[in-house]
Every structure is written in structure tokens, then in C-alpha cells.
């Protein structure tokens, strides 16, 4: 009887040790975040005013379409990209190769985002390098990392697909 209780306890501990945000299903739907003027004032390095991410299947690939309205502050402003609208297309990959979560990447080493939470209410991703804005060459115009090489986390709210277009 003690062995059964011990095994049940071990099993419960193992399940509780799993991350609550781990997901195996591919990301789907639309998520948006619109930062308030107050939030931006408290975070002067933040380069995102509004962001939307829409996931879908495209010819066998899971893809994300990201739209970003930059804030007129931080390195976006310093580089002359404040208050501008940028888009980016990312390819998404299931957990593998050391990544615990779904990861979406920009071609030509334009960076990536690791999805750390994806549920019916929220999408959370982190990045330390992710370029947005199509340019004539590989890459993009604005890095979503607030400080070069430093990890930043974005939390977006799940919304209707029609809200993923930034106007």
C-alpha cells in the first residue's frame, strides 16, 4: 500500500513540474495588444505601440503574419521608424532541437519568437531579436527587442480574426 501511495505521489509531482504553458498544438487564430500611452511612458525603450499576430496553415507550413505599429520612442524613434506600420511573415516550427515551445522565424536570419504561452485567452512570446518590416534585402527595418540582444516578452490577447488588421 505504501508503494502505491509513493508512486501516486511521484506521478503527481512529475505532472506538477511540467510547465503550465507548454503546448503541443500549433498556434492558431488572432492575437492583438494595444499599449496605452501610460504603459509606453513607463517603458521608454519599448518600440511597439500596437501588435497583431495571426496564425494559419499555408501549403503545409504553419505561418504567422505579424503587423506592428511602432511607438515613437526607443530605438524605433532613434532610427527614424517611430509611429510607422510594419509587417512580417514568419514560419512556425513545432518544438524540437532544444526548443520546448513552438518557434516562429523570419527568413534570412531575421530573428525569431518563441511562444511561451498559447491558450484561449492569451498568446505570450519572447524574443531577443526579431525584425519586422519587409526591406529590399533580407531582414527588416525594426527589431522588436527593446535593447539589442536582451530578451523581451510580449503578451497579446486572443481576439476575433477580423481584429488582426492594423489600420
Q: Which helix (H) or strand (E) holds 116?
A: strand 111-118
By the 10 Å C-beta count (0-12 exposed, 13-18 middle, 19+ buried), 77 is classed as middle
Mean pLDDT within 80-98:
91
**This model's pTM is above 0.85:** no
Sequence ranges of the domains in the chain: 22-164
Q: Cβ atoms within 10 A of the Cβ of 122, count?
A: 14
Q: When comparing pLDDT for 101 and 25, which is higher? A: 101
pLDDT at residue number 60 = 85
The topology (CATH level 3) of 22-164 is: Lipocalin (2.40.128)
Average pLDDT, rounded, for the chain: 84
Model confidence at 2: pLDDT above 90: no
Amino acid at each position: 500500500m505504501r508503494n502505491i501511495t509513493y508512486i501516486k505521489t511521484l506521478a503527481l509531482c512529475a505532472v506538477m513540474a511540467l510547465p503550465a504553458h507548454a503546448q503541443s498544438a500549433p498556434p492558431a487564430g488572432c492575437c492583438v495588444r494595444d499599449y496605452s500611452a501610460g504603459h509606453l511612458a513607463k517603458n521608454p525603450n519599448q518600440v511597439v505601440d500596437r501588435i497583431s499576430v495571426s496564425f494559419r496553415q499555408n501549403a503545409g507550413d504553419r505561418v504567422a503574419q505579424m503587423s506592428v505599429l511602432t511607438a515613437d520612442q526607443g530605438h524605433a524613434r532613434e532610427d527614424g521608424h517611430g509611429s510607422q506600420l510594419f509587417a512580417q511573415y514568419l514560419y512556425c516550427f513545432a518544438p524540437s532541437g532544444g526548443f520546448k515551445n513552438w518557434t516562429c522565424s523570419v527568413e534570412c536570419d531575421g530573428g525569431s519568437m518563441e511562444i511561451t504561452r498559447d491558450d484561449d485567452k492569451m498568446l505570450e512570446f519572447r524574443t531577443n531579436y526579431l525584425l519586422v518590416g519587409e526591406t529590399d534585402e533580407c531582414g527588416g527595418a525594426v527589431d522588436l527587442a527593446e535593447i539589442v540582444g536582451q530578451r523581451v516578452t510580449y503578451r497579446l490577447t486572443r481576439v476575433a480574426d477580423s481584429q488582426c488588421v492594423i489600420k
